[in-house]
Amino acid sequence: MLCAGFVAGLGRSLLALAEPKQNPANTAFDGEEFRLPLDGSAAAEIDRLIAMLGSPRFVEREEASIQLWEIGIPAFAKLREAYQATQDFEVRSRIEAIVREVFMDSLVSFGFLGIQQNTQFTPGPENDARIPRGHVGIMLQNVFPDTGAARAGLQRGDIVLAVDGQLFSADGVRAVDEFGTRIRERGPRGRLRLRVLRGNRDFEVVATLTRPKGLVVRQGMLGRVNIADVLYKAEWQFNVWWAKHFQTSEEAAPQ
């Protein structure tokens, strides 16, 4: 659903990572996450999306999964009810995937857009008249599938000119760092409004960030943070928490 086999390698030219942050619900995942208040309209919307997880149409199941992921922790109580009330394998698999993503995002919070930047060439006004004097753009060397960048429609060769209305500085190296900083400030499920130049077009897209996973996070260190170790610990915490709060006694019993 939300997973991707990301290309290996770390570095600012490939992705921007953030230091772990406190999870957005300010909960230690001790049971309080199931008691977050919901108004009537929010509860009804979550019920509607959960019902769509069993839709015969793949597109509807995918859309519902993404929207529930974006709602995040407030949907946990209803997702648990639905998980324990159904034996539908598809629905159960999707609920577990959604909850896992939200849980991991909340503990790890490494922001990931899903691009490879061209650090050797940062075009300026001498290359493209649409780039204001005193600024440069960030050219995308690659866009990885099933990431926030890909879902936003970004393509290889696009030039990112501004983030949330703010242009990059004139220095190419500094501009690359600025872009990474903007991503780090958001973290998973954060949104970036990007101004993009493509051919004769000048347009804006909104990209929702994820966190890196798969091979890419196992290649090295970010400062003093061993990314693989952080994710391993979070995965272990999730498995313990999931068994306690979602699995029935029959499922949790040893075979």
228 with 21: CB under 8 angstroms?
no
Q: Of 44, 49, 71, 69, which Cα lies nearest the Cα of 61?
A: 49
**Cβ–Cβ under 8 Å, residues 205 and 152:** yes
Distance CA 228, CA 181 (A): 21
Confidence at residue 50, expressed as pLDDT on a 0 to 100 scale:
97
Please report the domains of the chain, with CATH numbers, ordered by start residue.
Answer: 32-110+226-250 (no CATH), 115-208 (2.30.42.10)
The predicted pLDDT at position 34 comes to 92
Buried b (16+ CB within 10 A) or exposed e, 217-254: bbeeeeeeeebeebbeebeeebeebbeebbeeeeeeee
pLDDT score recorded for residue 187: 79
* pTM given for the model: 0.62
Q: Which amino acid is at 183?
A: I
Which pLDDT score is estimated for 93?
Answer: 96
Ramachandran bin of 224, using left for φ above 0, alpha for ψ from -120 to 50, beta for the remaining angles = alpha
Q: DSSP string covering 102-164, please?
A: HHHHHHH---B--EEE-TT----TTT-TTSPTT---EEEEEE-TTSHHHHTT--TT-EEEEET
Which residues lie closer than 8 Å to 149 by C-beta, 6 or more apart? 113, 114, 115, 140, 143, 207
Which has the closest alpha carbon to 189: 163, 209, 211, 207? 209
> What per-residue confidence (pLDDT) applies to 227?
63
Per-residue model confidence as pLDDT tens for the chain (255 residues): 443 322 222 233 333 333 333 344 445 688 889 998 888 999 999 999 999 999 999 999 999 998 998 899 999 999 999 999 999 999 999 999 999 989 988 876 677 898 988 888 899 999 888 899 999 999 999 999 988 999 999 999 999 999 999 999 888 888 988 888 888 778 788 899 999 999 999 999 999 988 776 534 333 334 445 566 777 888 899 999 999 999 876 565 544
User: So what's the pLDDT on residue 119?
Assistant: 82
